[in-house]
Structure formats: C-alpha cells, structure tokens
Structure 1
Amino acid sequence: MSTCFKQWKPIFAMIIVEFGFAVVNTLFKKILNGGMDQLVASTYRLAVSAIFLAPLAWFLERNVASKLTARIIFSLFISALLGQEIVNINCKSGKAKILGTLVCLGGALILALYKGMPLINPSKSSTNEINHNKRSSLLGPIFLFAGSFVWSAWFLLQARISKDYPYQYSSTTIMSFFGAIQSAILSLIFSKNISKWIIKGGLDIFSVIFGGMVGSGFCYVVMSWCVKQKGAVFTSAFTPFNQIFAAVFDIFILHAQIRLGSILGSILVIIGMYILLWGKNKEEEIYKNSPAIEKSGQVEVNGGGERTNP
C-alpha cells in the first residue's frame, strides 16, 4: 500500500499544483481585466511568496542555508545550462515518453491557439471577443512561444540545480525575492505612475496574497520536489492540465463560451499524459529489474529490456 502511494504521490501532487495554478490564473485574469497593472501584480505576488517561504526555509532548512554561497549559485547556474534530460529512443518506454509529450503538446497548442465553433449558445459570441482576437493575433502567439520556452528552460535548470542543491524552500525563496526585484524595476522603467501601486478592492488583495502563497510559493516548492523525484520531463508534462482547469474555470466562473477547441485539446492532453506516464513507469520497471552492467560508467538497455554492453 505504501509503495503504491509513493508511486502515485508525485502524480497527485502535480495535479494539485496545476489546479492551484489554474485558480491563480483565473483570479489574476479577473483583476487584470479590472485594471490592475500586470508588473505590479507580479511584484506583489513574488514578494508575498518570498515573505511566506522565508520562515519555512529558515526552520526547515536552517542547517543547509550556510551552504548556499555566491560561488555555488554561479556554478549551479552554469552547470544547469549544460544539463539535459536523457530519453532512450531505442526502447518502447522512451518512444512512449516522446509520443506522449508530443500528444500533450498538440493538445496544449489546440487549447491555446484554436477556439473552434461554440458548442453552447453560439449567438452569445460577442463582438468584443472578436475585436480582442484581432488585436492579440500577432502578440499573443509571440508571447506564448516566449513564455513556453522560458517555462521549459526552468524545468531543465531545476533538474540540474536539485542535484547539487536539493532544498526547495530556500531555492524558491531566493527565486521569488529576485523575481520581485526584477518585476519592480521593470514596472518603474515602463511607468512612473505611483498610483498604480495602490491595491484597490478586496479581490485584488486576496488575489495577490493567494497568488503569492499558492502560485509562486507552494506550487513551485512542490514542482521542485517532483523534478528532484521524477525528472523534468515528468513534471513538465502536467503543464497542459493547467489549461484544462483554467478552461473549466473560464466556463463556470467567468462565464466564457464552451468551444470545440477546448474539448479536443483537453482530450489530447489526457491521452498524451496517459501515454507518457505509461512510458515513464515502464522505464522505471526496466531499470529496476535489470542489474546494472558498469563499463566506462554507462549502462544501456535495449528495446526488449535486455542488458547489453555499451
């Protein structure tokens, strides 16, 4: 029973993380549509995360905090840039991981870029939605690609960093602290209007605090733990679930239209996730049941799970 729970624990953790991200994204969409500046919101959110995690990092990881020096930070950053996740394409598990990732990616692209025909009350499609699509038709895909690239890079960086500094609370605190400083500087560069820093309304305050504690705090700590346990490919594969949950919230909370693209994209994401997890579990079984043959520090497993000399 404990073994089964340990095996499924990272899966449940990542589903909860993506659910939390979807809630945060829905709240921030609401307050940003209400007029709050996005850089100011990001600054407050990251600052709340740093303040929330700092005491936890101190009490839970106080014995290792002294190990984090400027030299280690620099070396971790350089080594992280050189790190990579290895997938064995010669075995069925490796092919399944690649296929599952591609199917998830296809579903995510459909969710993000293809709306399709409305499935409920087509007459309610508003003119504002059409105008919004025209204005964002160019910048939207550019920002989407840039965000996806940086998001993918974070998983690879975290996979390498977690090997040399496996302390999620302190590393996330540092990331949030410097992220808040960066967002504040960018906000002051693009606009010197001080009034935009004043948070108005209970929803704005709640969204910033909840987004900082959950979105930039708890979720990143759990993701860092999952990257350390299962790797970057496994953890990043759950990202499309964020879009599924966000689409559900858009429909039932923000009263958005249900469209064909959301349904098709969600189905593809679920299918791709199942294929990827099957490949990941199969790969773990192969390496667990096959004694390692050490030669020049390398081990090779062929498609049938048989051990061969490199």
Structure 2
Amino acid sequence: MEGISATMQKCRPYFLMIFLQFGAAGAYIVIMATLNQGQNRYVFIVYRNLVAALVLAPFALIFERKVRPKMTFSVFWKIMALGFLEPVLDQGFGYLGMNMTSATYASAIMNILPSVTFIIAWILRMEKVNIAEVRSKAKIIGTLIGVGGALVMTLYKGPLIPLPWSNPSMDQQNGHTNSSQDHSHWVVGTLLLLIGCVAWSGFYVLQSITIKTYPANLSLSSLICLAGAVQSFAVALVVERHPSGWAVGWDARLYGPLYTGIVSSGITYYVQGMVMNTRGPVFVTAFNPLCMVLVALLASFILHEQIHFGCVIGGVVIAAGLYMVVWGKGKDYEVSGLDNLEKSSLHELPITTKGDDDTRLASSIADGSNLSVPDGVHRNTSGEYK
C-alpha cells in the first residue's frame, strides 16, 4: 500500500495538469462562442473574475482562516500585479487576438508559453541550467522544438483535412464567420496573442514567487481574481458605456463567465498554485500543447473550424518538445529530492541526558526514528549496543 501511495503522489502533478488542460480547452470554445454573440471582451473579463472570486472566497475563509498569513505591502502589490498581468493583459489581448484569428490558432500560439516562461525563469535565476547536464539539454532542446512546432502551425497551413462535421457551408448557414480566413487581421491578431502570452508567462513566474511568501492557495487565488475584476472593471467602463453591453441572458453570455470563472480562473489558479509550489512554473506551462490538440478537435465539432494538415504536423512536433521539457523537469525534481535527502542525512544524532536509557533506545529502534544515543551506551563492531 505504501508503494501505491508513493506512486500516486508522484503522478499527482501530472494528473492535475492534464485535468486543467481539458478545462482550458473547453474554455477556448466557450469564450469564442461568447465573443461571437457580441459580448464585449472586457465585460466578459469582469464577470469571469468576479464569479471566480465569489466562488473561491467562502472556501478560503473557511479552510484557511488559521493558516492565512498577514497581508503585507509587498504581497498586496504582487497580487495587484498578478491581477493586471493575467486577467487584464493576457485575457484582454488574448480574447481580441482570438477574435481576429480562431480558437484553434490561439491555442496553437499559446504553445510558446513554456518557452517564454523558461526564458523568464532562466533570466531571474529561478531555473538552473547547466549545459553539461543531460536534463538541462533536454529542457533547452525541448523548448526549441516546441517553438518550432508552433511556427510550423503558424506559417504552414497545408491542405485542409476533410472532416464531415467541419463543413464551411455549415458555418455560413449557422451565421458563424471563421475569422482565421480574414488575412488582413491575421498579423495583428498574432501580435496581440503574443503580447498576451508574454503577460501570461510573467503571471506564472510572479505567482510562483508570491506563493512562497503567501502560502494560502485559495486566499491568493480569490484575491488575484478580485484584483483582476476591479482593474478590468475600470477598463470596461471606458470601452463599454452602453448598459446593453453589460446585459446577460440564458445563453453563452451567462454560461461563459460561469464556466471560465469557476474552471479557468478559480480552479486553475488554485491547482496550478499547488503544483507550482513543488514543481515550478516551467513544469506547469509544459502541458499547454495538450490543450491545443483538444481545442482543435472540439473547435472542429462545435465551431466548425477547419483543420489544416500543418496543424497536425505542428502538433506532433510540439508533443515531442513537450515530452523533452517534462522529462528534464522530472529529472530536476528527482535530483532536488536526492540533494535534500543527502543534506538531511548529515544532521548529527541528538544526545540525550542520563536517565531512562534503555526505554528511549528501545522506542527509537522500534519506530525507526533518529536514534538518540544516551551517555554511557556504546556501539560495538557487530552493530549492537551495550
């Protein structure tokens, strides 16, 4: 049972990150459907982060009331910066870029996220790189391969893959427009997505720093969402002054903020904070290419987006880079654990005072803890105490 428990504990970060990618793929589809219905993207951001803050706040108040650290000026400004990086910059530019291209294309561009995060973490010396080590080479080569796969998907479309459920005529009959075909907005949309990607990478790195000084995941996530809602509300008041733009109904304008607020903001911030606390930001972002594959499949079914042959080739290349980065991070984690074990083994054995020698020695041997050797008790060559 102990072996099974240890294996599950080791695989837990992988399962959690795969689960998040399924949730993120659904968010791309929901966001695109909501934007297609005409809702302002900044209004959507306000509702999304407000929902996330309201959902997370009760759990944070109940489960972290005893472990929540005091708010300091430094932590406050980090939370405000996190709210600006992800909810305002990343979501604002990302949604606009997605609207100019497509959900599949946006998810493909975001595959550069692990590379940007790796570079930022490397610059800040949060990510150790030694060219002589195999695991460092794997991370660097995997990052380059991931960028190459994203470039393949961006620059080479290739022929369409004939799928019966992604017929362009169905798109026109349903009133949907495939913005990926609008080449006049393609370059601008790509630049906006890249700006959002850099902001998202900065969010990951800053979140990994903040979680060390404010180790209350639920509270931190709810505060980030609240900060993002307040800042995006100020922006939305400027760009959307008509009351009709704030209206919601029993459609994607209601379901979109609910889904993305609970899954993409609330649950995602909390889970990735837990994983990031032990594995770091590069490990978290390395799973993003999986989201691209899921979005391509879902978008072809639901939004009737076309899948090009270049998307398949790029997806395979990115998957190879993903494997190398995750393998390198796994080796980093193993070496880090080994180093901690070696350091802990160097601690000197504590010396107890005179008294109940036999009782303390027997209990130490029985429970397998650090042996506490009393005065007057010596060990002979056979390993016995006398």
TM-score band (shorter)?
A: 0.7 to 0.9
Query: Deviation at 1:170?
Result: 0.8
TM-aligned CA deviation for residue 226 of structure 1? 1.1
Aligned to 1:175: 224
Alignment RMSD (CA, Å): 2.8
What secondary structure does 1:89 align onto?
coil
Distance verdict in 2 for CA 1:165–1:49, change over 3 Å: same
Counterpart for residue 126 of structure 2: 84
Q: Is the 8 A contact 1:77 1:157 kept in 2?
A: no
Distance 1:5 1:155, change over 3 A: same
Among 17, 21, 24, the residue aligned to 1:18: 21
Change in Cα spacing, 1:153 to 1:129, as seen in structure 2 (3 Å) is same
Residue 268 (structure 1) shift: 1.6
> Residues 141, 236 of structure 1: CA spacing in aligned structure 2 closer, same or farther, 3 A cutoff?
same
- State the AA in 2 paired with 1:218: I
Alpha-carbon distance in structure 1 between the residues aligned to 2:237 and 2:295: 30
CA contact (8 A) 1:27 1:207 kept: yes
Matched, 1:95 2:137: yes
SS of 1:45 mapped into structure 2: helix
Structure 1 residue runs without a partner (length 5+): 294-310
Which letter does structure 1 place at the counterpart of 2:223? I
1:153 is matched with which residue?
A: 202
Residue equivalent to 2:295: 246
Contact 2:51 2:262 in 1 (8 A): yes
> What amino acid maps onto 1:158 in structure 2?
Q
- Equivalents in 1 of 2:78, 2:251: separation in Å? 43
Aligned pair partner of 1:264 in 313, 316, 320: 313
Tell me how far 1:180 sits from its aligned partner.
Answer: 0.7
Bigger-Rg structure (1/2):
2
C-alpha displacement of 1:278: 1.8
Shift of 1:82: 5.7
For the structure 1 residues 236 and 192, does the alpha-carbon distance in structure 2 shift closer, same or farther, using more than 3 Å as the test?
same
The one of 140, 146, 151 equivalent to 1:104 is 146
Q: Which residue identity lines up with residue 234 of structure 1 in the other structure?
A: F
How does 1:1-310 map onto structure 2 within 5 Å?
A: 1-74=4-77, 84-111=126-153, 114-120=156-162, 129=178, 132-289=181-338, 291=342
* Structure 2 alignment gaps of length 5 or more: 82-120, 345-386
Q: How many residues align?
A: 292
Deviation at 1:9, TM superposition (A): 0.8
How far, CA to CA, are the matches of 1:112 and 1:279 in structure 2?
26
> Structure 1 202/190 Cα, relative in aligned 2: closer, same or farther at 3 Å?
closer
Q: CA deviation at 1:121?
A: 6.0
**Distance in 2, Cα, partners of 1:254 & 1:279:** 36
Partner amino acid for 1:269?
Answer: I
Conserved? CA contact 2:138–2:327, under 8 Å? yes
Going from structure 1 to structure 2, the CA distance change for 1:77 and 1:188 (only over 3 Å counts) comes to: closer
Q: Report if the CA contact (8 A) 2:293-2:315 is conserved.
A: yes
Counterpart CA distance in 1 for 2:41 and 2:8 is 39
The amino acid of 1:165's aligned partner reads: Y
Higher relative contact order (CA closer than 8 Å, sequence separation 6+): 1
Whether contact under 8 Å (2:208, 2:277) holds in the other structure is yes
* Displacement of 1:113: 5.5
> Which amino acid is 1:40 matched to?
V
Choose 108-117 or 217-226, whichever is displaced more: 108-117
Structure 1 contact 108–240 (Cα < 8 Å) conserved: no
Query: 1-side partners of 2:294 and 2:153: how far apart?
Result: 11
Alpha-carbon distance between aligned partners in 1 of 2:257 and 2:219, rounded to the nearest angstrom: 21
Q: Does the CA contact (< 8 Å) of 1:104 and 1:237 recur in 2?
A: no
Report the counterpart of residue 296 of structure 1 in structure 2: none
- Which string of whole-angstrom CA distances, capped at 9 and with x for unpartnered residues, describes residues 236-286 of structure 1? 111222222111111122222221122112212221121122222223334
State the Cα deviation string for residues 196-253 of structure 1 (Å, max 9, x = none). 1001233321221111111111011111111111001111111222222111111122
* Letter of the structure 1 residue corresponding to residue 309 of structure 2: L
User: For residues 199 and 260 of structure 1, what CA distance do their matches in structure 2 show?
Assistant: 38
Distance 1:102 1:171 in 2: 33
Give the CA deviation at 1:101: 2.2
How far the C-alpha of 1:71 sits from its partner, in A, is 4.3
Partner of 2:307, secondary structure, is: coil
Identify if the C-alpha distance between structure 1 residues 130 and 158 changes in structure 2 by more than 3 Å, giving closer, same or farther.
closer
Q: Is the 8 A contact 2:217 2:270 kept in 1?
A: yes
Comparing 143-152 with 100-109, greater Cα deviation is found at 100-109
Provide the residue aligned with 1:298 in structure 2. none
- The separation in 2 between residues aligned to 1:187 and 1:68, in whole angstroms, is 28
Separation in structure 1 between the aligned mates of residue 251 and residue 167 of structure 2, nearest angstrom: 30
% identical equivalent positions: 33
1:151-195 residue CA offsets vs partner (Å, 9 max, x unmatched): 111111112112211221111111110111111111111231111
Q: More deviation in 237-246 or 206-215?
A: 237-246
